[in-house]
Amino acid sequence: MSRKPIVAGNWKMNTTLDEARTLAEGIAARTADVDGVELAVFPPFPWLVPVRERLGDTGVQLGAQNCYIKESGAFTGEVSPWALAGVCQMILAGHSERRHIFGESDELVGQKVDATLSAGLTSVLCVGELLDERESGDAIAVVERQLAAGLANVTTDLLQRVVIAYEPVWAIGTGVAATPNDAQEMCAAIRQWMAGKFGDDGATVRVLYGGSVSPDNAAELFGQSDVDGGLVGGASLKADSFIAIAVAAATV
């Protein structure tokens, strides 16, 4: 089964309301340029609804950057995946900034994946090693540990709503992307691990690369056989560069 590429924009804690609307309009206006690629954007929480209005029926998917693990209750400041299910289609789990700035454990990330899937949404599970973990030769072991915890309770029937994003921490926001070879090697290792746990269904889960993806390097990264598109931070904040990256995914 062929895997449709995804190009997803993680806006992080950026954009004013006006900027978010303008960015969404810019992307919505250009979707016809991008054929055969699923597009998604992950704006800050308060802009989800206004961005959804601007995206209209273009087919661009909408996602949240984070969620809590419960349906409702006394969890001040948290956002339920069941509430998000009325607004968007996807939720990130375990982005490196959540893991390393906010101390989210592998176990909590797994609970977020479970809650997202239970609420009927797609979970984009982010995994990736620190620079010292790569330098000490532990990168694959770290990513496999994050996969095992993140997907501990996921069953094969839910895999259609799982996407993996490999984002080496040292490549995020640094301007230094992984080499296409390194991205391919890890995405292949992720696919192999998925096949080992889930069989053929596991092997067809889409695996994205993230970390300093730009219009200049996207084609080479996405041209790798196990890289099914990208999760894009900085370069997703301008419609032109986001669309250029999506076009690269469409043409490889």
Select from 55-63, 110-118, 141-149, 210-218 the region that touches ligand PGA (CB under 6 A). 210-218
Give the binding-site size for ligand PGA (rule: CB under 6 A): 13
Rounded CA-CA distance 230/228 in Å is 7
| Residue 64 near residue 39 (C-beta atoms within 8 A) | no
Task: Give me the residue label for tokens 């072991």.
Answer: 141
CB of 248 to ligand PGA, least distance (A): 14
CB of 199 to ligand PGA, least distance (A): 29
167 is annotated as an active-site residue? yes
Would you give the binding string for ligand PGA spanning residues 166-195, x where CB under 6 A is met? -x----xx----------------------
Select from 33-41, 112-120, 149-157, 211-219 the region that touches ligand PGA (CB under 6 A). 211-219
Of 27, 234, 242, 244, the one binding ligand PGA (CB under 6 A) is 234
100 is annotated as an active-site residue? no
Nearer of residues 22 and 214 to ligand PGA, judged by Cβ: 214
Rounded CA-CA distance 198/192 in Å is 10
The percent of the chain in helix, strand and coil, each rounded to the nearest 5, is 45, 15, 40
CB of 165 to ligand PGA, least distance (A): 7
Which residue among 38, 95, 104, 133 is the active-site one? 95
Rounded CA-CA distance 196/59 in Å is 33
What secondary structure does DSSP assign to 155-187, as a single string? Answer: -GGGGGGEEEEE--GGGTTTS-PPPHHHHHHHH
Residue positions annotated with a catalytic role: 95, 167
